[in-house]
Amino acid sequence: MNLVVLPPWRRTVARRFAVTLVAMLPALVMQAWQLDAEWLIRLAVLASAALAFTPVITPALLFTPSPPSPAMGERVGVSGTFPATAPQHHLRPPDSTDHRTPVSRWHWKNSGSAVLLDALTQATLLAALWPSGSALWPAIAGLIAALLMQRLFGGWSSNPFPPSMLALAVGLMLASGSPVAGTSWSPSETAPVALAWLASGIVLVLLRLRPWRPMLCFALPLALFLAGPDLGANYWISAAIGTTFIASDRLHLPPHPLGQCLVAALAGLGTAAIWLAGAPAPALAFAWLLATFLSPWIEQRTLPRPPATISET
Amino acid sequence: MRPPALPCIRCGECAAACPAGLYPQAVLAALQRDDLHAAQALGLDACDGCTRCDAVCPSAIPLSGWFTAALTTLQREQSDDAFARVSRQRYHFREARLLREQQEQAAERERKRASNASADAVAQALARAKARRGKPDRPA
């Protein structure tokens, strides 16, 4: 039996997150160069807030590897009273007692880097989507709320909403009292930035870190909308970031490709509908929050059951 | 040494590697909810423990360990069910046997009562005979 060996950039969570961040870099540089240098300050502030706040909440809430259910261990009969057909070491997952060990430096080095990289990614996406010229404190508050919510839900896999989208929605709601500065970028300014974001996404697809189907399903409704004559170039960057980094985030998508496409298409239609209603800033966030809210329901209906027949190897 | 497991990032590497065509991340989520039957509905029984999902998981989750543990639990539940079924069958057999014995005993009692009744008839006949013998003998 030949075990599958992944390429180095796909082997660990930290490497995956690091490669995702590196893939963003050209788009970040392009956005700072083409649009405004203040964007870099916004990014620095939000990234600092994420990096400062994550260690505060992480040791208590996350730095314990997810243990298997204790009830499961009792039912399996780890004490050996039940004659198992499997070897003894298979009765329980090997790391099942790790949740009783204290947080170690090793955890900080390996798990901590993944947690910090994830927080940095969310902060970067939020900084890229936050309306230019608006006050920054609602974005910081929204980011902290989203990171805290992610930890309270139990981490990446248990968090129902994309943190960057949640942070954007919370931030925009907090900023609803203060005026949100409108931007009037020209297509010549935004097109290279949007293309750079799309290129980042394509790189991630080629590295097989992100799926291409949900990207396409999200982009198609937006492309139909953006083909309208009166729509400015201000939407392009949101559409590109939503396509490349939000629609392709498997954490909040069903495992089956059909479910992924349905959720992404729903988010794309929702975004286009909110744009048509005349609310450009919160469109992406609220559409994705709605789509990911429905994601578990779609997942239940798209997962194949019974499974496919076993293929002989 | 395997590193400690991180939470699942739902990357789908396990699903791509699974020769049984399962979605191990969905099965794992069901098992983490302690919902064995949902895991079974997602095809847990088809897992043959090849550990390919373990090898590719970037979060280092011991997926095959989870699945083997769950399959063992299911096996025990099934053996418990089989034991309960056999016990129930034995109970019904015993009930039927007790009823049959009760009926047989009742029939036996009835038969004895009938035989006792016939024994009384003999006694009456004997009494009559004795009474006849008690009369004075005829002259020779």
Question: What burial letters (b/e) apply to A139-148, b meaning 16+ CB within 10 Å?
Answer: bbbbbbbbbb
Averages of pLDDT over each 10 residues, chain A, 313 residues: 78 90 91 81 91 77 44 35 33 43 48 83 90 86 91 77 91 76 66 90 93 93 75 77 89 91 94 83 88 91 67 43
Block residue for tokens 């286009």? A272
Which residues, in sequence order, are CB contacts of A242 under 8 Å at separation 6+? A218, A222, A267, A271, A284, A288
Quick one: A208 exposed, middle or buried, by C-beta within 10 A (0-12, 13-18, 19+)? middle
- Is some CB atom of chain A closer than 8 A to the CB atom of B30? no
> Rounded to an integer, what distance in angstroms lies between the CA atom of residue A284 and that of residue B93?
69
Instruction: Report the gap between the CA of A41 and the closest CA in chain B (Å).
Output: 30
Q: Report the gap between the CA of B95 and the closest CA in chain A (Å).
A: 31
Chain B residues closer than 8 Å to A94 by CB: 2, 62, 65
Alpha-helical (H) ranges within A5-94 are: 13-34, 38-61, 70-76
pLDDT of B3: 60
Confirm or reject contact between B1 and chain A (CB < 8 A): no
Q: The tokens of A96 are what?
A: 């099942």
pLDDT confidence of residue A55: 80
CB A35 within 8 A of CB A189: yes
Dihedral sign from CA coordinates of A170, A127, A288, A277: positive
Could you tell me which residues come within 8 angstroms of residue B31 by beta carbon, excluding any fewer than 6 positions away?
A68, A69, A72, B39, B66, B67, B70
Q: Is B58 on the interface with A (CB under 8 A)?
A: yes
For residue B123, being part of any structural domain is answered with no
pLDDT for res A233:
66
Residue A277 CB neighbour total at 10 angstroms: 9
State how far the alpha carbon of A6 is from the alpha carbons of A38, A276, B21, in Å: 40, 43, 18
Q: Which of A3, A86, A93 sits opposite B62 (nearest CB)?
A: A93
Distance from C-alpha of A47 to C-alpha of A277, rounded to nearest angstrom = 32
- Which residue from A250, A19, A204 is spatially nearest to A117, judged by alpha carbons? A19
In a domain, B90, yes or no: no
Residue B99 has pLDDT above 80, yes or no: yes
Query: How wide is the angle at C-alpha A244 spanned by C-alphas A240 and A245, nearest 5°?
Result: 115
For residue B21, give the DSSP letter: -
B92 has a pLDDT exceeding 80: yes
CB contact under 8 A, B72 and A94: no
Q: Which candidate from B13, B20, B62 shows the least CB-CB separation from A307?
A: B20
Q: Is residue B124 part of a domain?
A: no
Is the residue at B138 inside a domain? no
Total count of domains within chain B:
1
pLDDT for A183: 59
Q: Which two tokens stand for residue A87?
A: 């070897």
Hey, are the CB atoms on A303 and B32 less than 8 Å from each other? no
0.90 surpassed by complex ipTM: no
Domain span holding position B26: 13-81
Is the sign of the CA dihedral A109, A114, A117, A123 positive or negative? negative
Chain B residues touching A211 at Cβ < 8 A: 12
Average pLDDT over residues B112-138: 80
Residue B88 lies in a domain: no
CB contact under 8 A, A72 and B9: no
Residue B65 resides in a domain: yes
Residues A162 and A121: their CA atoms lie apart, in Å, by 11
Q: A22 to chain B, minimum CA–CA distance in Å?
A: 18
Please report, as a single letter, which amino acid is at residue A35: L
Inside any domain, residue B22:
yes
Percent of chain B past pLDDT 70, that is, above it, reads 93
Q: For an interface test with A, which of B11, B47, B63, B79 has the most A Cβ atoms less than 10 Å from its Cβ?
A: B11
Does any domain span residue B95? no
Q: For A28-52, what is the HEC assignment?
A: HHHHHHHCCCHHHHHHHHHHHHHHH
Say if residues A15 and A8 touch (Cβ distance below 8 Å): yes
**Position B2 pLDDT exceeds 60:** no
pLDDT at A48: 93
CA A15, CA A189: separation in Å to the nearest integer?
32
Q: Is B13 on the interface with A (CB under 8 A)?
A: yes
Cα A235 versus chain centre, distance: 20
Contacts of B1 in chain A (CB under 8 A): none
Q: Which of B10, B68, B73 sits opposite A255 (nearest CB)?
A: B10
Q: How far is CA B4 from the centre of its chain?
A: 41
Cα-based torsion angle of the residue sequence A7, A200, A252, A267 in order, rounded to the nearest 10 degrees = -150
Q: Tell me: the pLDDT tens digits for B28-81?
A: 988 888 888 888 889 888 888 888 998 899 988 889 989 998 898 888 888 888
Structure tokens that stand for A253 in this block: 């998508």
> Between the CA atoms of A182, A186, A189 and A193, what dihedral angle is there, to the nearest 10 degrees?
70
Instruction: Say yes or no for a CB contact (<8 Å) between B69 and A93.
Output: yes
What average pLDDT does chain B have? 86
Residues 6+ positions from A150 with CB-CB distance below 8 Å: A156, A159, A163
